[in-house]
Structure 1
């Protein structure tokens, strides 16, 4: 089959993508012809979840709709990081925002990462600075389960969780043992002599004979190979070297009393810009360079106790320290002052949480508590005249009631009050969720919630990008006020028979005083393009998600489709100046960089000789702002709002297990982005618009791995 190359014209229409779905499914099925009954691992309704109510319970019983991605799926599909893992959830997308450093962020319900609460073991230890590159710095091997709550429905989570929460539930070992995994991968494109990508990861579990003490120690190294995909001498995929290490300990001195301590450390080097021998020189000697050295340390301690049949409590503290030494710029942007591109940033986050739950009877459970978050950000970037030293604090107090008036109904409702350092008055947020289950095979969930985002510094502000040889950055309007939201959702779920399951989720979010980023260039700062975050008018996000799953003892097929719309009450300025004919103004009444259509296919097969998987991700068209500059001089030629094509990204792989000594060796071979469906109109040259990048994060990539468990 002839596949479009990087320089090929953009494809038009959906039929070609539909054909590829059928082709890919056929390839995966033929790779698993030797089938046997291995027992079904897909009865997810019995999976235990904790995110919606902070009480462990079967997924089928929680009124807060929760999606689960388990560790087995991540291991089978060769998933490297959290960024890759979350895309197994329908409607969750990774957006790559810069062609120099490949900054990635999560979109959920169409909303960007700033609207999502990222949690570890129920606590927001993911700081603002960590959000810039951090979703690629969490190795998938440390994750026990990912729980995703879309929209609201629980008062347990405060500002920043308008679109929902993604909770990384740590793994808990059942017995002593360990595993070592080695992986090698290579992508299509010019790597200009740089070493190939891959990773090495090791983990060891200790479980005492009485199971009162459990401990996990891990460490790993991950490398992404830099690539020039259009031959212009500048990277389109940045180089990343990531080292991680950490441990988790559990101590149960008495039944139903658990003390857990987690520690993790990551150290990443990231470089993009000029290729060739420029990688051997200092970044300020390159035409374009982004070099980021970031270190992140997190530590959490949690004490959870069930005192009796009625009372349980939880006390927790999380600390996160993130430090970044960076270079954004180059001789094109900064000229003889190119050393100005060096900067440094640090971020300290403290989080305290106290929760108590009282089970009055089978019909009533009361949960109440408080949490306090304090974050200090210090950012010094001389190239864009930015010096920040700000502290943001939020005290939240909440109460929630679980009421089960009869077997068919479960209601969970509550009120949260937040006292934020950036807002004069407290904000009270009522939220409620309901579960109606008239029979075992049918459940209907509904939720309504209110929320807000405080006027703080966000992760996107801590990144600088190059446009036409200039540097672009974002500042907050001094008069910026909070953005408020109301979200409703309705989610029926039907287990048609023992094999077939059908789900739907309809959602609608209204936003008032929507945060918008608009041009606000200061003519007194040549070489720097300033943008300002201010309050726009209202906007709304609405859509529906459809999921269909068929499960047997030896294979499963899941199909999902999300159709969504994000629009402003009136058109917003996206690019340019209304008074300048060359820097022409572009307005849009819809959110940019957000597709309206998303599809997901997941196929898994347990075979007699090999196991196989296929994952297909379909991304619909979206509007992408583009600044067009003269390729020789960098002079502005105009602004455009481009429409991206459809993308169909297919991952496929096979694996086989072998008994080796007292352990098991798993070999895996696979291809990511099988059809090399990648952006065909990449920007080129030293004056490129680095933010004009969209679609899949990587071209076709081949990988092989060995995983030994003992």
Structure 2
């Protein structure tokens, strides 16, 4: 990978120098470390993870204002996003340059990627319903199966509190006639734990498209409204023996632009539901068993002047996971999963000569299932650390797929660890790829990947530094073949990059910085993968002074191309955001977020608009 160090690059790298120096000079203050589960399917301290993991906590989510979850994710290294003209529209994220459908999205550990689009419905997940988010970068199919070529985003919802009763509520207003209302309760008593939350948001919106969109441009404002209801109920009938039910129901109804010839208030209605029942049982001091059933529904309805269409995915997942401990420093996770998928679509047809609308039809195949066996071993031996994972998936359409992962870490000092990791991944074709009438290929093979990375992490009490170099080779890449008007396994891609991260606490001030130098390319053409930048820089700071918390964020995203042939350029851009919060009392606070302070005109997808300068003010109460 060739990297040219521009003046901007050198300036950003200079930001890391004082942070690195602080690793040796700043007095230490004890700080709690986050616990993550995504990187090994079991709980471990974030500093011990042999990989590139980020935790987005509840405080950051509370400060999100009217930002979507995709925008919150993109504030962190290695992540870019796009939407189709607003938070209500189809949204995708790129992890380390991988395609959006090559990222696995989990909701409380349950996969929610739709079987028709391949995407997780991020636009239907309000920040108010989320406790924290764990991001795992790099191929992870040996842990979670299909669709984890680029990485995994595990969204953890709010659950029962560890105290008798707590309640919170908030109300906020902002630019584009946006308003949000949230309320939730949680608590525990006599072995019972519970939570219940609800949120509602509406916005007058802005025009989703501009004149570059040509055939779908509509000069109107695209409003939206969204509501969410989530809850959990758990009962620990004996220490270590717990039964938990979770429910999640979310819908967002938003304006889109779909047809410039038949102007209409086109709408996209995205529904996401998840219901699960789990039994966690500590059978012995060294054996924990978890049985879980989960049902998910991903449904998207599009309403236009000439037709209404609906695509949906229903999934039933059965999981039995066993966590076995061998002493204090070794652990083995064994899991069996069965996944049933059912897809359906109201697909319009047209007369090939007159193009007159015909009847709506469904996919000619609508079902598939998968059985999987997973094993994950983690061991700590003094300065040496090891993680190995092996998974066998048996898909009713594509047969067997075996994936593996192996990571080794070595503690150079008590605070400095180096690691090397290799893992494989795969992604199954969607029902749209395989069965969409007239534009599908039932002979497609799954995409496959091999990822290797080398990392160095410094974790002090006030300083966190990281450097990761990676290469992810993806073969049998599914792309649309214009010669035959259907997708084919035509290409391969190489995703290379170097990521630098730094975080430093100066008393009541915290500074974070990251720099991504990536080179996601199509191997055959040599072209840069569309909508992905080669250089991304991010810098943020927050300062606490008495009852005030003040913050600022800056992100620069380099030039990209909207098309695979690299002929439609998307210019680079820099965005500045400012945040502030003030504690009126111990339980009442006001938060302000000002996005795109300099009112930059930019886009993440050609022909689609992004918001201009916008402000959101939120009043929150916590019991």
Same fold (TM > 0.5): yes
Taking only aligned residues, the RMSD between alpha carbons, in angstroms, comes to: 3.3
Say how many residue pairs are matched: 589
Match in the other structure for 2:606:
692
Shift in alpha-carbon separation, 1:292–1:97, aligned structure 2, 3 A: closer
Match in the other structure for 1:653:
579
Match in the other structure for 1:551:
505
Q: Does 1:366 align with 2:323?
A: no
More deviation in 393-402 or 555-564?
393-402
Asked whether the equivalents of residues 80 and 141 of structure 1 are also in contact (C-alpha less than 8 Å), the reply is: no
| Residues in 1 aligned to 2:393 and 2:422: alpha-carbon distance in whole angstroms | 18
Asked whether the equivalents of residues 177 and 204 of structure 1 are also in contact (C-alpha less than 8 Å), the reply is: yes
Shift in alpha-carbon separation, 1:413–1:273, aligned structure 2, 3 A: closer
Match in the other structure for 1:247:
231
| Residues in 2 aligned to 1:350 and 1:480: alpha-carbon distance in whole angstroms | 24
| Residues in 1 aligned to 2:60 and 2:210: alpha-carbon distance in whole angstroms | 36
| Residues in 2 aligned to 1:154 and 1:438: alpha-carbon distance in whole angstroms | 29
Match in the other structure for 1:512:
475
Q: Secondary structure at 2:144's aligned position in 1? A: coil
Give the CA deviation at 1:129. Answer: 5.7
Give the CA deviation at 1:610. Answer: 1.5
Q: Does 1:347 align with 2:313?
A: yes
Asked whether the equivalents of residues 21 and 616 of structure 1 are also in contact (C-alpha less than 8 Å), the reply is: no
Shift in alpha-carbon separation, 1:307–1:613, aligned structure 2, 3 A: same
Give the CA deviation at 1:363. Answer: 4.5
Give the CA deviation at 1:322. Answer: 3.0
Shift in alpha-carbon separation, 1:224–1:518, aligned structure 2, 3 A: farther
Give the CA deviation at 1:133. Answer: 7.6
| Residues in 2 aligned to 1:564 and 1:398: alpha-carbon distance in whole angstroms | 31
Q: TM-score, normalised by structure 2?
A: 0.86
Give the CA deviation at 1:235. Answer: 4.7
Deviations 1:49-74 (A, max 9, x none): 11112222211223344211101111
Match in the other structure for 2:392:
417
Shift in alpha-carbon separation, 1:673–1:199, aligned structure 2, 3 A: same
One of 439, 450, 466 as aligned partner of 2:424 = 450
| Residues in 2 aligned to 1:224 and 1:675: alpha-carbon distance in whole angstroms | 22
Give the CA deviation at 1:349. Answer: 1.0
Give the CA deviation at 1:101. Answer: 6.9
Give the CA deviation at 1:448. Answer: 0.8
Give the CA deviation at 1:132. Answer: 5.6
One of 514, 522, 532 as aligned partner of 2:486 = 532
Give the CA deviation at 1:286. Answer: 3.9
| Residues in 1 aligned to 2:339 and 2:137: alpha-carbon distance in whole angstroms | 22
Q: Secondary structure at 1:511's aligned position in 2? A: strand
Deviations 1:509-558 (A, max 9, x none): 1111111123357xxxxxxxxx5221113221110110011113311000
Q: Secondary structure at 2:442's aligned position in 1? A: coil
One of 165, 168, 187 as aligned partner of 1:206 = 187
| Residues in 2 aligned to 1:314 and 1:363: alpha-carbon distance in whole angstroms | 21
Match in the other structure for 2:516:
562
Shift in alpha-carbon separation, 1:237–1:542, aligned structure 2, 3 A: farther
One of 642, 657, 664 as aligned partner of 2:568 = 642
Shift in alpha-carbon separation, 1:703–1:153, aligned structure 2, 3 A: closer
Asked whether the equivalents of residues 530 and 566 of structure 2 are also in contact (C-alpha less than 8 Å), the reply is: no
Asked whether the equivalents of residues 113 and 119 of structure 2 are also in contact (C-alpha less than 8 Å), the reply is: no
Match in the other structure for 2:401:
427
Match in the other structure for 1:256:
240
Q: Does 1:594 align with 2:505?
A: no
Asked whether the equivalents of residues 125 and 319 of structure 1 are also in contact (C-alpha less than 8 Å), the reply is: no
Q: Does 1:396 align with 2:310?
A: no
Q: Secondary structure at 1:54's aligned position in 2? A: coil
One of 106, 125, 135 as aligned partner of 1:148 = 135
Match in the other structure for 2:546:
608
Match in the other structure for 2:587:
664
Any residues of structure 2 matched to 1:311-330 within 5 Å, and which?
Answer: 311-328=287-304, 330=305
Match in the other structure for 1:238:
222
More deviation in 225-234 or 286-295?
225-234
Deviations 1:462-490 (A, max 9, x none): 9xxxxxxxxxx994323211211101111
Q: Does 1:476 align with 2:464?
A: no
Deviations 1:402-423 (A, max 9, x none): 233x211111113211111221
Give the CA deviation at 1:248. Answer: 1.5
Shift in alpha-carbon separation, 1:386–1:541, aligned structure 2, 3 A: farther
| Residues in 2 aligned to 1:532 and 1:100: alpha-carbon distance in whole angstroms | 30
| Residues in 2 aligned to 1:451 and 1:144: alpha-carbon distance in whole angstroms | 28
Q: Secondary structure at 1:439's aligned position in 2? A: coil
For structure 2, which runs of at least 5 residues remain unmatched after alignment? 15-27, 212-216, 351-359
Asked whether the equivalents of residues 673 and 700 of structure 1 are also in contact (C-alpha less than 8 Å), the reply is: yes
For structure 1, which runs of at least 5 residues remain unmatched after alignment? 1-12, 23-38, 188-195, 275-282, 331-338, 463-472, 522-530, 572-587, 627-638, 683-690
Match in the other structure for 1:186:
175
Match in the other structure for 1:56:
43
Match in the other structure for 1:163:
150
| Residues in 2 aligned to 1:158 and 1:622: alpha-carbon distance in whole angstroms | 30
Asked whether the equivalents of residues 228 and 237 of structure 1 are also in contact (C-alpha less than 8 Å), the reply is: yes
Asked whether the equivalents of residues 393 and 421 of structure 1 are also in contact (C-alpha less than 8 Å), the reply is: yes
Q: Which has the larger radius of gyration?
A: 1
Give the CA deviation at 1:655. Answer: 1.1
More deviation in 196-205 or 172-181?
172-181
| Residues in 2 aligned to 1:610 and 1:243: alpha-carbon distance in whole angstroms | 31
Asked whether the equivalents of residues 347 and 375 of structure 1 are also in contact (C-alpha less than 8 Å), the reply is: yes
Give the CA deviation at 1:611. Answer: 0.8
